Structure 1
Amino acid sequence: MGRTSDARERILDSSRRLLRTRGYTALGVAQICDDAGVKKGSFYHFFDSKQALTIETVDEHWAEERRGLEAVLAGAGGPVERLHALVECLVGTQRADHSESGAMYGCLYGNLALELSGQEPEVRGRLAKVFDDQVAMVARLIAEAQEEELIGRGTSAQTLARSMVAQIEGTVLLARVRNDPTLLDEAWPSARRLLAVA
């Protein structure tokens, strides 16, 4: 029986790391291949282009992150406690990055969305879907909290969730610019104020 190649997984792992640390435009296929320890021919055996790889990288990253967020959604505690845990889950990667490397790399989706604002419509479409999924997850908890009258009903759960996701992304961006993980400590207090938690 022949040996199974792990080249595809290595390419995806390298892509995820390098997209977060270097960005899309500055990253070439040759750099990804060097980092993954594969030849360019192997790259094009698995992926048609850097764009195709980026879309798959976003999909895989989101699938993994989503599992963690779904576990929080289904966890113990009331909706406000689970919202708090969800926020901590979303910013936790940034704290881990800084702890391990001394640098904050920001949110993969947010970084790519900013960098590709006027180009790569297929990648941007995939990023929009990820943010829509995040908003829907947050909206489920906000609606639950509204039902229990822990959050006012004056604004729809969907609108509040969009604002909350945007606020978290903004907090991560500011923390990255200053390379200061303590700024992430404001993510939950800001969300509480936005939601007017009772």
Structure 2
Amino acid sequence: MVTDMPVTARTGDTRRSILDTAQRIIAHKGYSAVGINEVLAEAGVPKGSFYHYFPSKDAFGEALLRSYFEEYVADMDRILARSGQSAAEQLTTYWQQWRETQSVDDCQGKCLAVKLGAEVSDLSEPMRLVLKEGTDAIVDRLERMITGGLQDGSVAIDGDPRGTAQVLYQMWLGASIMAKIHRSLAPLDSTTTMTRQILHL
């Protein structure tokens, strides 16, 4: 079959397909429980070609997490860029999306920080550093929203914006884990209530 697509574009598409497929599978099963062959089979990529795209499984894990966080913070940036919304409305939108994507039965690849945080931090120092970098980027954006809320008067807090952003993110991560343990969204609902209290919404 003849194709006009450049080799670099085809390579990029295949690499993207592997990462997208892995994100969906690993969000359900975890990192250690998923073999490379399972991902390649699901992605429709021939076995043996994995190392053409990733030099090692560790490098694959780093790429997977980087891709996840890039998409995640891009979603946050889209919320921040919405015109006509107060910072409080932006924050509310963010937390609502979090709740929706952390459903008990199917997180659709949207919960890698929750799923892999503890697991890979003990397995791989490079992956732990990517997780740290990614979660710091999330907290950065929450801090920006909170600071914006203080400026537009839609948010009030008792502490500083950075500390508040960190506490809120940690609280939501914990609630997401508890939601999985209890197979109930009640922890996320109670965290939503507490978030509103902390931000005086």
Q: Report the TM-score when normalising by structure 1.
A: 0.85
Gaps of 5+ in 2: none
Partner residue in 2 for 1:176: 180
The Cα of 1:150 is off from its aligned counterpart by 4.6
Change (3 A) 1:149 1:165: same
Gaps of 5+ in 1: none
Tell me if 1:62 matches 2:69: yes
Aligned residue for 2:33, secondary structure, equals coil
Query: How big is each residue's C-alpha offset from its partner over 1:80-133, in whole Å with a ceiling of 9 and x where there is no partner?
Result: 1211111112232123xx5xxx44577201221111232201011001111101
Tell me if 1:26 matches 2:25: no
The Cα of 1:143 is off from its aligned counterpart by 1.3
Change (3 A) 1:3 1:51: farther
Q: One-letter code of the match for 1:44?
A: Y
Q: One-letter code of the match for 1:81?
A: E
Contact between 1:20 and 1:111, CA under 8 Å: does it hold in 2? yes
Query: How big is each residue's C-alpha offset from its partner over 1:131-155, in whole Å with a ceiling of 9 and x where there is no partner?
Result: 1011010101111222345544541
Aligned residue for 1:41, secondary structure, equals coil
Partner residue in 2 for 1:7: 14
Q: Report the TM-score when normalising by structure 2.
A: 0.84
Among all aligned residue pairs of Structure 1 and Structure 2, give the percentage whose two residues are the same amino acid.
25
Which segment drifts farther, 22-31 or 155-164? 22-31
The counterpart of 1:125, out of the listed 129, 133, 139, is 129
Q: One-letter code of the match for 1:135?
A: V
Contact between 2:101 and 2:107, CA under 8 Å: does it hold in 1? no
Aligned residue for 1:192, secondary structure, equals helix
Cα distance in 2, alignment partners of residues 160 and 40 from structure 1? 47
Change (3 A) 1:122 1:14: same
CA RMSD of aligned residues (A): 2.2
Query: How big is each residue's C-alpha offset from its partner over 1:47-75, in whole Å with a ceiling of 9 and x where there is no partner?
Result: 11222112112222222222221121122
Query: How big is each residue's C-alpha offset from its partner over 1:148-196, in whole Å with a ceiling of 9 and x where there is no partner?
Result: 455445411000000011111111111122222354333321211233x
Cα distance in 2, alignment partners of residues 86 and 36 from structure 1? 30
Tell me if 1:191 matches 2:191: no
